[in-house]
């Protein structure tokens, strides 16, 4: 689970403004990851997600692929190749940097339409997020990727079919739900699909394979609140993400065989809590409109979670997850 731009101060802000505290307080194995990328101390979401997904440091704004090299397989691709069910639920478009890093071999994060075509190469069993227009209203070509995916036995629904709580989801077929044409709304502007999409995803993925499943969940817009220097937006997005974390932890506690890892890709905004208002709510100051290089926390629960204590590079998230589930990095 990745909170984009969710640094320790952002988490503290959400904690101090929640009367009942945060679900994140349920974790006991906690570490810190160093977020720098190959060519810069201050990273971006593409390079940071590529580090966690593929275990390699790559240049800023890229996924590690260029004319000469192809990035190694992502943990999603490795697990899929070994028969696990795989899914992603995000609050941005599915072509945005963080989810893209798990499926794409394009050079640049801005290549949304090219990234969309990579969903025809990597079979994601359960996919929820925005970005429908990059599949069916493309400007680079006349391809309709939704029709192409349907031919590959993917059931595709969207917000036009109603909320995700109302659509039929059958684990015998791969499933994609587009929550928006481009970027979904913020939670405070009325986005409601995130938690139900994750809960339905757990049920779907558990039934989809006997071997196990991998689900990447991203609270994508925490970062956008940071870029905009709007602390209410940051805190609201973290509170929603934290609610999803609670549901995932409930599942993992009951299941007993599920590793849950919650982290961020980087900090955004240099978010600082500098005081409190008359209601006792945190008063926030930002020092940047961009990302910063501060380390970000890693929270882990379940089998193998003790591996996530300590201070380490972001690429080790990839290594530790594969170690914890006893999978090699080779795609067979």
Contact call for residue 45 and Mg ion (CB under 5 A): yes
What is d(CA 146, CA 263) in angstroms, rounded to the nearest whole number? 32
Nearer to Mg ion, 4 or 118 (CB): 4
Which region, judged by CB under 5 A, interacts with Zn ion, from 6-14, 137-145, 169-177, 223-231? 223-231
Nearer Cβ to Mg ion, position 43 or 45? 45
- Residue number of the CB closest to Mg ion reads 98
Taking CB under 5 A as the criterion, the residue among 77, 113, 123, 223 binding Zn ion is 223
Question: Which letter does DSSP use for residue 26 in this model?
Answer: G
302 near 319, Cβ under 8 Å? no
Binding residues with Zn ion: total (CB under 5 A)? 1
x-or-dash string of contact with Mg ion, 72-111, rule CB under 5 A: --------------------------x-------------
Q: How far is the CB of 18 from Zn ion (least distance, A)?
A: 24
CA atoms within 13 A on the CB side of 252: 21
Residue 220 partner contact from Mg ion, Zn ion, none using kind-dependent CB cut-offs of 5 to 8 Å? Mg ion
* Tokens 């109302």 found at: 166
Residues near 26 by beta carbon (within 8 Å), at least 6 away in sequence: 246, 249, 301
Q: Of Mg ion, Zn ion, none, which one sits near residue 118, judging by CB under 5 to 8 A according to partner kind?
A: none
Rounded to a whole number of angstroms, the minimum distance from the CB of residue 222 to Mg ion is 9
Picked from Mg ion, Zn ion, none, the partner binding residue 43 (CB below 5 to 8 A depending on kind) is: none
Which residues, in sequence order, are CB contacts of 52 under 8 Å at separation 6+? 2, 101, 263, 265, 314, 315, 317, 318
Secondary structure element (H or E) that encloses residue 130, with its range: strand 126-130
Per-residue mark of binding to Mg ion, 215-244 (x: CB under 5 A)? -----x------------------------
The least CB distance from residue 107 to Mg ion, in Å, is 18
Choose among 16, 69, 80, 5: nearest CA to 38: 69
98 binds, among Zn ion, Mg ion, none (CB under 5 to 8 A by kind): Mg ion
C-beta closer to Mg ion: residue 31 or 226: 226
Phi, psi of 172 (to 5 degrees): -75, -15
Cα gap 121→135, rounded to integer Å: 14
Kindly state the smallest distance separating residue 4's Cβ from Mg ion, in Å. 4
Q: Which of residues 193-212 bind Zn ion (CB under 5 A)?
A: none
Tokens linked to 169: 């989801």
Nearer to Mg ion, 104 or 220 (CB): 220
**Of 77 and 223, which CB lies nearer to Zn ion in the complex structure?**
223
Q: Minimum CB separation from Mg ion for residue 89, in Å?
A: 13
Percent helix, percent strand, percent coil in the chain, to nearest 5: 35, 20, 45
Of 176 and 220, the one with the shorter C-beta distance to Zn ion is: 220
Separation between Cα atoms, residue 38 and residue 60, nearest integer Å: 7
Q: How far is the CB of 265 from Zn ion (least distance, A)?
A: 8
3-state per-residue secondary structure call for 103-116: CCCCCECCCHHHHH
> Rounded to an integer, what distance in angstroms lies between the CA atom of residue 315 and that of residue 48?
9
Q: Give 15's contacts (C-beta < 8 A, 6+ positions apart).
A: 21, 22, 24, 25
Among residues 1, 3, 4, 217, which is the contact residue for Mg ion, using CB under 5 A? Answer: 4
CB count in 10 Å sphere of residue 154: 19
Interface residue list for Mg ion (CB under 5 A)? 4, 45, 98, 220
Interface residue list for Zn ion (CB under 5 A)? 223
């Amino acid at each position: 689970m990745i909170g984009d731009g969710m640094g320790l101060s952002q988490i503290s802000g959400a904690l101090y403004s929640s009367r009942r505290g945060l679900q994140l307080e349920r974790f006991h194995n906690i570490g810190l990851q160093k977020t720098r990328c190959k060519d810069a101390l201050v990273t971006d979401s593409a390079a940071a997600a590529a580090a966690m997904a593929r275990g390699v440091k790559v240049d800023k704004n890229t996924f590690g692929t260029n004319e000469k090299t192809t990035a190694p397989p992502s943990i999603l691709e490795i697990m899929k190749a070994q028969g696990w069910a795989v899914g992603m639920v995000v609050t941005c478009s599915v072509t945005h940097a963080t989810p893209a890093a798990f499926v794409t071999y394009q050079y640049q994060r801005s290549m949304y339409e090219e990234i969309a075509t990579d969903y025809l190469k990597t079979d994601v069993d359960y996919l929820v997020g925005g970005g429908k227009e990059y599949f069916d209203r493309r400007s680079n070509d006349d391809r309709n990727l939704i029709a192409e995916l349907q031919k590959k036995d993917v059931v595709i629904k969207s917000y036009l079919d109603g909320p995700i709580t109302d659509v039929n989801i059958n684990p015998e077929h791969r499933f994609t739900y587009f929550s928006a044409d481009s970027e979904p709304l913020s939670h405070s502007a009325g986005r409601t699909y995130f938690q139900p999409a994750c809960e339905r995803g757990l049920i779907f993925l558990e039934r989809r394979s006997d071997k196990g499943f991998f689900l990447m969940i991203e609270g994508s817009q925490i970062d956008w609140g940071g870029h905009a220097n709007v602390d209410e937006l940051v805190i609201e997005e973290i509170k929603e993400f934290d609610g999803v974390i609670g549901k995932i932890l409930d599942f993992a506690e009951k299941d007993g065989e599920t590793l849950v890892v919650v982290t961020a890709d980087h900090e955004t905004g240099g978010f600082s809590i500098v005081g409190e208002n008359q209601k006792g709510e945190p008063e926030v100051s930002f020092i940047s409109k961009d990302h910063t290089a501060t380390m970000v926390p890693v929270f882990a629960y379940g089998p193998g979670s003790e591996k996530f204590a300590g201070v380490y590079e972001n690429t080790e998230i990839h290594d530790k997850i594969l170690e914890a589930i006893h999978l090699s990095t080779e795609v067979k």
